[in-house]
Amino acid sequence: MLKRILASMLLFTLVATVAPSMDKASAAGTTYYVKINSGTLNMRNKPSTSGKIVTKLSKNQLVTVASQSKGWAKISSKGKTGFVSSKYIAPKTTKAVVKKTAVKKSAVTPVDNYKANAISVAKSNMGVKYKWAGNNPSGFDCSGLVNYSFGKAGVDLPRTAGEMYNVGTKVTSYQPGDLLFYATSGGRKVTHVAIYIGNGQMIHSATSKGVSIASINNPYWKPRFIGAKRL
């Protein structure tokens, strides 16, 4: 009996030594980035929303993942250690958030390749009908077209026009690929987004015409203009 017990203990020790947990084996030491559209991500002292907030992490901040279990990740960043929801982090190597390629010179205005590509994708969907919450060639709303076009060009943007207005740099002189924002419900609340394509024109998905090109001096759009952002 004693020999049998000792043999079992030895086997257990060997298994525990050779086979770490799947979570630790797959995640230990891996660099992730904070995947949020806006605001900050709470790092807590335990894997629960009831845990005390240790610190707040910003968008795209790099973190080191020690392990993941039941929807929570144990991480460390800038000397702090704690837990965050796994759905708000992603491996650093899986996708670029904003991937700027070499600047391509044109006779009129320099345009980043990814912006030219996004414009090309948007133009390839000319005539596609407007569809509320649509984000693919079967139907687009305004932000769905912009999100889809830049996504195909390698740039990950927030989903709604209001969220998109929180990224990029505000500009007053436009280049192709800049995002133009409008308030169609009055006031200053952003409710519409378009892509500037040059020569005083923009491409967007409008409720009346679907994916189409319009002048930025259009009597409907011009008085509703809020601002422009460059990615």
Instruction: For residue 220, indicate whether it is catalytic.
Output: no
182 near 194, Cβ under 8 Å?
A: yes
147 near 159, Cβ under 8 Å?
A: yes
70 near 44, Cβ under 8 Å?
A: no
Question: Which is nearest to 147 in space by CA: 161, 162, 129?
Answer: 161
DSSP 196: E
Helix boundaries (H) for 39-141: 113-124
- Residue type for 93, please? T
Instruction: For residue 9, indicate whether it is catalytic.
Output: no
- Geometric angle at alpha carbon 100, from 177 and 86, rounded to 5°: 110
Q: Is the dihedral of CA 154, 203, 144, 209 positive or negative?
A: negative
Whole-number Cα distances in Å, 25 to 18, 22, 66, 216: 11, 5, 9, 54
Point out the catalytic residue in the list 139, 182, 204, 205. 204
Q: Is the dihedral of CA 69, 72, 77, 82 positive or negative?
A: negative
Instruction: For residue 192, indicate whether it is catalytic.
Output: yes
Point out the catalytic residue in the list 192, 193, 210, 221. 192
Token representation of residue 181: 């924002």
What are the catalytic residues?
142, 192, 204
